[in-house]
Structure 1
Amino acid sequence: MSKQLQRTTEPAAASPETMADLLAEINALSPTPLGEDDVYVRSMILCTDRVCESDWCRFSPTALAEIAEKIAGVSVLAGHDRRSLPVGRFFRGRVVELPEENPATGRPVVAVRAWFYWLAATSGAEDLLRNIDGGIYRAVSVSWRYEKDHCSVCGAATGCGHTPGRTYGGQLCHRVIDHVDEVLEGSLVYKGADSAAQVGRQRDAHSSRRVGGGFSWDRAWIAFMARALADLPLESCTFRAAGVLARETEAILHNLGWRFLARTCPASPRLVWYTAAEGETVDFARLAAELAGPGRLIVAGPGGRAPLAALPRGLRLSRLLALPFWNRPWWVLELEKEAVA
């Protein structure tokens, strides 16, 4: 449902990890050759294999290796704001061990350390450097898409009935991310979901200094979803989404401790929740038809205007909201299906 910075002013040591080595990887991405005086370089602990208590997920060793492999070239953002230009760019990722034990595995915490750079001559470059090295910008968060996960208790891919965050026979249930399809961005944030995800001042490949990190959530969304689902048993709800938004819907539900139910639709749901794609023409009649009797229909989507077309008979609009998510405006329609005489 989703983590360190410093200017490389020290002399390049005569080791396998010299500034020349870092510049070679940076220049593999930059269209213009860059020298040591042209860039600032820092690194961060982007994510770990610890259970994240905000969404009850944990990366598998395979997923961490995929993140480390895919991170080069990915943008560094501020606060997951995808509408603004990047503040830096990742150029290297490595899987490393941290000097602490992971309760979920009984072994040292495994993490992805990611190196990034930004141009020294650009506006705000010195401010960014000072805020990182001074500990003001310390927490980080990674955004990704994944294809497969499984339950830590029984190993099932979906529909097992175990609830992330609950304990079964002394074992904490969580979802294990098996395969990361794409790393979207890494952000400097005010607070991250993984406390080990932090920005650090080191540039070398052997230091284990950490940065803060995690995934930032909009409180308005969390409060709304918690209220909307509070009086309904999970097995009576159907959740679906259009296209890539399915992952974002899933992430919100994970953050609230619910399992995404797109593939386990009950026969007679009391609530249907649908996340629409931007600009999609929503078929309210089809969605309402999924409610066998009276029930609740929630439709949400990105954009500033909700598709308030003529509602079918028996469907009443009870609330229209505008909520922020992923630093974008979203609309939310809460409708009630009434008994038709």
Structure 2
Amino acid sequence: MIKFLDLHKINNRFRDEFKTSFSKSLNDSYYILGNNVSNFESEFANYCGTNFCVGTANGLDALTLILKGYIQLGKLKKGDKVIVPANTFIATILSVLHAELIPVLVEPNPNTYNISVDAIKGNLDGVKAIIMVHLYGQLCDAKSLQRLAKDYNLLLIEDAAQAHGAISNESNSKSGNLSHAAAFSFYPTKNLGALGDGGAVTTNDSELVKVLKLLRNYGSEEKYINKIVGYNSRLDDMQAAFLSIKLNTLDADNNRRREIAKTYLNGIDNSKIKLPFYDHSKNHVFYAFVIEVEERQDFIAFLNLNDIEWLIHYPIPPHKQEALQSFSDLKLPVTEAIHERIISLPMSPVMTAEEVQKVIDVLNSY
């Protein structure tokens, strides 16, 4: 069986370092917002090229607290409209709803799966912010979105949950430093994944950072003194230590993912399979390698028969989810077509050349 993502094999590489880090943390006995968190925040800000990083409990909270922070600063107000991709994981849209803002769902570019700049232009009435999602690890057209945000005086926010370390072709800046503020997830399956939940915000906005640090900690910077209505959303100190260890190999892991993607792209030759768009640059870190097929259920049965694990990112578009019934009447044909056809192949930095070749051989025989 070729695993879709072998988390045991990925994390086992760091077992000794994890044990050492755990023992040190156990001895220090400082479990909430300790040195591990502040160290990782400094390291990840430096990695992304931003002035600041604020750890949170998870990626959804990171995105929600950005929006709540801008409301607290008066740059947004409840009821404002926020552009979001129609083709995304539901968390992007949930963050807008949790902040009591109004999501405006916009169709993607069918080649990159990322939000279409042209589609945004027809949906700007009353909009105050744009959330761009670097879906599957490929950066959005950040330069065009930055220009659009500047022209219309909009906040630009990144959902970078799947794009740790992706680098812009135009600016040479990394994800997390392409907007006013960016949200990351460190869910275990991510390119930089913790051993549990975790998230962070990166930004160059010092005023936003002050508010985020209050919001994540009950509205408090001094114990039992609460300045604003806050939340409990702090990056776990132990997870921060593990993330610091894994950050050292992130670039190498991303390079290996790109190598596998190039091997797939060069080796898979089957007219029944549509391969993903990739310009062979570092703007893609291949959180997922997503193909399209017409007869998906037939293709899934074929993969199962040949012992190849798979995943669908994602089987149901957000506006068709029961949780978002108020959006169910939207006409989003591009998004719906994508969700009916896509399927993700095995992709991880610990795949062997033999495993990659088997995937190629199986797909070519479909």
TM-score, length basis structure 1: 0.27
Normalised TM-score (structure 2):
0.26
Bigger helix share:
2
Structure showing greater radius of gyration is 1
Please identify which structure carries the higher strand content. 1
Q: Select the structure with the greater relative contact order (CA < 8 A; seq sep ≥ 6).
A: 2
